[in-house]
Structure 1
């Protein structure tokens, strides 16, 4: 039995498969006879010494996490600043680690989480505390650097492609006497990966989605109106997929809600689909419907990608392996070995190469007119949504998801006042 405790925490927006990663982490650690604690509500739980003893959960419940969406231990949108600016918070983290003999810290999140794990590792080194920090990849935006793709994205991409195809059939059936334009909003503040995934819904100029709007290309309203009009006149209707983060040429978000910044310093966006729908109706006179899937994109476990599930589990197991080997300040990432047939493996990458970097859509993935994806993008995206991994269903017709007991560990330190 290894000496010490492993602490796992989830960060930021959850995904349909982040609990599958948690399940793999706990099972891999149990196999090595390592105790696993979890931070309740992510890094906040660590700061407040609000820790969960996962050993109190029976193995069937841990296994059931693999098909349960959400964040089993809670997550949070909290970004720690530099080691200097937030030194008191980092020192508190170190106190909690010491109090509970935490020797391995696994932080499951995106770019900002990788940065936090890196900073914690540097603080531990400064105080000569034996701590191995591992970032575990998660995001539906697919914007993590280095990794070929990110666990969580494949399932959100599958949900997006399936939803757009189904909505398009609905619009086509009603177009003669009802809706002419349908606008679907996809998540993606700076990177248009989810919007691109919608392109898998159909092939050919007349197949939906007819227009995809990416944050990587400046939004030009006049050109957009012209494309919508041309499509309606040719096909009879037009399905538009817009990334929430599309911007005009001067860098202004089309859907800037004017609500300032969130905890991560991101502009609060306010619904690009509703905005575009109103503008199309006013400018072209078409009847327009729009939708904002929002959390549905990241919680739709019932239509998860099998590829995504397998990758989420693989990075969880690898994270434990890396931690116990003392591979500090690393992250298990996906490396694509071949496209035909699709093959991948998990390899280690340095957190310093990932933290605060952002992977956007490469230019060769976007059509020259900026309104769709290329064959290269399709070759990249298609394998990530392949395969089905449905949850078990009960007699009531609903998925059988698990709710953990989340038994708290007894606190050993004074209450956190930060």
Structure 2
């Protein structure tokens, strides 16, 4: 195989450990310099390829590449941009191949979730049709933990740890004041269709009566009467009630509790405000004083309490992606396969993108308690290893803040006419 360059890009919502995957890709590619020349990173994801804004990672020092391992956010810029259908918008794919051909790019590493897996598969297919075959490898990442085949998705373990810890700490706060003040606290977390993040809040409950007292999952149709009854009983039994709710909570007919009436770039319904929606129910029907919070970007940016397991897995899938590509693999994803719970152990195997793209993995029913408001022991057994360990993080002694790296992007010289993405 002749030596060619590689393209790496980050897609969708970022995580506390997505840059660890980037680190794994770049460091491993440098170790295979006999087959991979320059790794170009897309500035703002796939858009960087379309508009030919390619970041030359050869200009990044070894130390700065290593620092990506402990830096949150998307170091090269991410985007919510979905390529159109190949049949009706072939020009987008042709443009990608033109850019790759102009910069001698033979490897495509796309770091993202479900939609990114679909894009990666399409790039592999169209490159074959256009006579410029590219090794396209999907690098899994999503806090929603909803990719199939892989045991978990890098980014999820750290969000799970953040939500579990936040639920525990907020619970202690509410318990301290519930006699004369707030009786109900509601924490809204991410999760459009899958309740994995909400489930992680359940890890805070170490004994009966401890928070969270209710979890509201997207997998269970919302029953207002049952919800209010459970809240009221919790306040009567414990003096207070802590609730974790997924943004994707919906009624039996599929209507989201927090449908904002707009769509995002991928055509998904924009969600926001399920916590205040539930809070208003509590106030109107039960009259309890309440507080609510939305974890929002904080949950996916919290590198300071990232899971060591998550960090290791994020780096491992980046490394494995490169190793698969140089071995001649194409249209696959490095999948994390759990081999043991006690002790916790895992390995990496390849999964075909045809079985990954546009497929969502939901919470199994036996991970949710019979009443629909809690997690089972089986779910706890699955989740606990994923939040173990405190990922190492260097701190500045003077400021007391983490030493996050901020890269100075050096763009490759453009070789093609302008293109509007």
Q: Same fold (TM over 0.5)?
A: yes
Residue 130 of structure 1: how far off its partner (Å): 2.9
Residue 128 of structure 1: how far off its partner (Å): 2.1
Confirm or deny: 8 A CA contact 2:140 2:334 kept in the other structure: yes
Match runs of 1:11-410 below 5 Å: 11-33=11-33, 34=36, 35-259=38-262, 261-395=263-397, 396-410=399-413
Alignment length (residue pairs): 417
Segments of structure 1 that go 5 or more residues without pairing to the other structure are none
Confirm or deny: 8 A CA contact 1:2 1:32 kept in the other structure: no
Residue by residue, what CA displacement relative to the aligned partner does 1:126-165 show, whole Å, maximum 9, x if unpaired?
1221310000000000000110100000000000000100
Q: Distance in 2 between matches of 1:303 and 1:336?
A: 23
1:119 alignment partner, SS class: helix
Q: In the alignment, what sits opposite 2:5?
A: 5
Q: Distance in 1 between matches of 2:235 and 2:283?
A: 13
TM-score of the pair, normalised by structure 1? 0.99
Residue by residue, what CA displacement relative to the aligned partner does 1:31-79 show, whole Å, maximum 9, x if unpaired?
1113100000000010000000000010000000000000000000011
Considering only aligned residues, what root-mean-square deviation do their CA atoms show, in Å? 0.9
Residue 205 of structure 1: how far off its partner (Å): 3.1
Q: Distance in 1 between matches of 2:293 and 2:322?
A: 40
Q: Distance in 2 between matches of 1:339 and 1:390?
A: 23
TM-score of the pair, normalised by structure 2? 0.98
Q: Distance in 2 between matches of 1:326 and 1:85?
A: 30
Residue 417 of structure 1: how far off its partner (Å): 3.0
Residue 283 of structure 1: how far off its partner (Å): 1.1
Q: Distance in 1 between matches of 2:2 and 2:273?
A: 50
Residue 390 of structure 1: how far off its partner (Å): 3.4
Residue 86 of structure 1: how far off its partner (Å): 2.0
Confirm or deny: 8 A CA contact 1:303 1:390 kept in the other structure: no
Confirm or deny: 8 A CA contact 1:306 1:386 kept in the other structure: yes
Q: Distance in 2 between matches of 1:88 and 1:134?
A: 22
Q: Distance in 2 between matches of 1:44 and 1:85?
A: 19
Residue 258 of structure 1: how far off its partner (Å): 1.5
Q: Distance in 2 between matches of 1:114 and 1:83?
A: 15
Q: Distance in 1 between matches of 2:196 and 2:230?
A: 22
